[in-house]
Structure 1
């Protein structure tokens, strides 16, 4: 059994724009129902960046209370091997490689008791609460109600780091109830959008169209199975979609950019009774002509959050190659280089997914 040190390196958020590397943060204690993993790696999510920079979704505003509770260790896209387990843990053994859904359900609320654990009323997610620290640390505690999954030892780390984001991508596409007769548009070809594209390809829609303003992302979208790519910075993509569909519009539109313009263009290009899936976390408010949803088009507007019941499928199909992963985790950094990692995670250097890894 690995000897667990009393302290560890961890990135700690003390407030918005106040993130610090702490080299002697207390290692998590293991209760009788807990598991402690030694972290292999942790991806950096767009939500992590928005939280760092003070998005109201995390820190609150006049319309919503704060969700983040500092000081906390960020990161929810992580995995590792078990180094310590409580006396009541029997299903897992020391050395097992595991990951978990980002939400830790309470098991007691109405949603949990009806199988909708990802909607858990307390909604405690790794990496935003001081009592539920995330994966940007050498060790992480999984509490009793964490939704755990085994990760094959043979899965390369750069693939394993995509399990959580691809789980979220799968859920968004599932929310769209795609058929092989649908014209499907995915707006945004970052990591999550590409996960949607490679999974949607398995659904075989009549036409799979990807939108992004970055040429390298559009190229990757084609590699991952898109039939057609368009750049909203270079053409009126909504009008092009309308022209392609005899003026009716696309059947499905998934918004995966977090940019208000993507919402407006989606409302314009989607057909009447189309399925509009909102996935993104926005940095601020978004305004739209709300009457389009009802009086204009009688749309089915659906949200998508987290990755319920998705990990087993994602793990299986990353392993067998049905879900493409090549080149998505483009760079990794040590925890000591976290500032550089966060800078690259913005995408301004052309990266898709950035991760912090631990030796």
Structure 2
């Protein structure tokens, strides 16, 4: 496969300067690298927040900048191997692959203890020029990338959900769901839906899904929720309390990124319950921490990335256990990235929007 010297790419030069580049330099393949020809790249809420200048990416008076421009965005991507470094033995030209969004260093104490998803340098595709992302025709997987084979016959719209669904799986696993648990998932976007369809496989006593958008609740019901509620129309705290004899839910998973969802969850979770925080917030969430300690003695769990989740997700998307129908409705060419980002914000009812090459 002959690789051209330039490619189409979206490049972020600053928080106010994203540009489509029709002839950006194609990544070069080192002896330990894998170069893929990109098939497509999903647009994550993190990509949107970064493009909007969120402080967690670009820094402010309280935190340093994390991104390293100029960089090519995108971490939800897959493609076909176009070039292999001479030291790469486990893959072949033409393999269809994807990878964990983090490129572990292999040297820090987290990597050495198997907890690579919390790697101290924390190099993630799509935010630094040293690890450019998937909104380009070609991407370099450097040495240490956690690469996975994708079935050749997996539909494109399903394959693009591997990365977000892997994140969803890790989040649900952090909740330690049992068959007697009443579980509430707050948020039914793409990641929330991934949590719903996977949590259904855990067979909880009751799976309740909350969202402010009714069309998302319809999809959540289709994907396995027992009960769906709109907090804009229903007193959801009262509803959950009524369903649980006044005790509250056993597990609450926060997947909206809105501070009100945190307060809502702390109000409806039972004593000794488990609260799982997944989302990235655009603003601080302020709560009375005495609820967590003195009042309810809660277990609080965070969830970050998708360690060891890709093989399961790939297998269960393939066999249909994880539902995907209708999650990706619109795709756009890279030249129309601004329109794609607009649609990805959800204003037209989309769950997941992708750029397709």
The interval holding the TM-score normalised by the smaller chain is over 0.9
- Tell me the matched-pair count: 357
In 2, Cα distance between equivalents of 1:128 and 1:82: 22
The answer for the alignment partner of 1:172 in structure 2 is: 171
In 1, Cα distance between equivalents of 2:29 and 2:283: 38
3-state DSSP of counterpart to 2:124: coil
**2:38 maps to 1:50:** no
Matches within 5 A, 1:247-326: 247-326=246-325
4+ residue segments displaced more than 4 Å: none
**2:86 maps to 1:84:** no
In 1, Cα distance between equivalents of 2:286 and 2:60: 17
The answer for the alignment partner of 1:185 in structure 2 is: 184
The answer on whether the counterparts of 1:39 and 1:81 sit within 8 Å (CA) in structure 2 is yes
Gaps of 5+ in 1: none
In 2, Cα distance between equivalents of 1:54 and 1:238: 34
In 2, Cα distance between equivalents of 1:335 and 1:213: 31
The answer on whether the counterparts of 1:56 and 1:284 sit within 8 Å (CA) in structure 2 is no
Gaps of 5+ in 2: none
In 1, Cα distance between equivalents of 2:310 and 2:267: 34
The answer for the alignment partner of 1:4 in structure 2 is: 3
The answer for the alignment partner of 2:232 in structure 1 is: 233
Instruction: Tell me how far 1:17 sits from its aligned partner.
Output: 2.9
Instruction: Tell me how far 1:62 sits from its aligned partner.
Output: 3.0
The C-alpha deviation readout for 1:13-64, integer Å capped at 9, x for no partner, is 1111321101111000000000000000000000000011011111122332
In 1, Cα distance between equivalents of 2:100 and 2:226: 31
Instruction: Tell me how far 1:3 sits from its aligned partner.
Output: 1.1
In 1, Cα distance between equivalents of 2:98 and 2:43: 15
The C-alpha deviation readout for 1:132-166, integer Å capped at 9, x for no partner, is 00000000000010000000001011100000000
The answer on whether the counterparts of 1:55 and 1:284 sit within 8 Å (CA) in structure 2 is no
Give TM-score scaled by structure 1 length.
0.99
The C-alpha deviation readout for 1:177-208, integer Å capped at 9, x for no partner, is 00000000000000000000000000000000
3-state DSSP of counterpart to 2:342: helix
Q: Using a 3 Å threshold, how does the CA distance of structure 1 residues 90 and 130 change in structure 2: closer, same or farther?
A: same
Give TM-score scaled by structure 2 length.
0.99
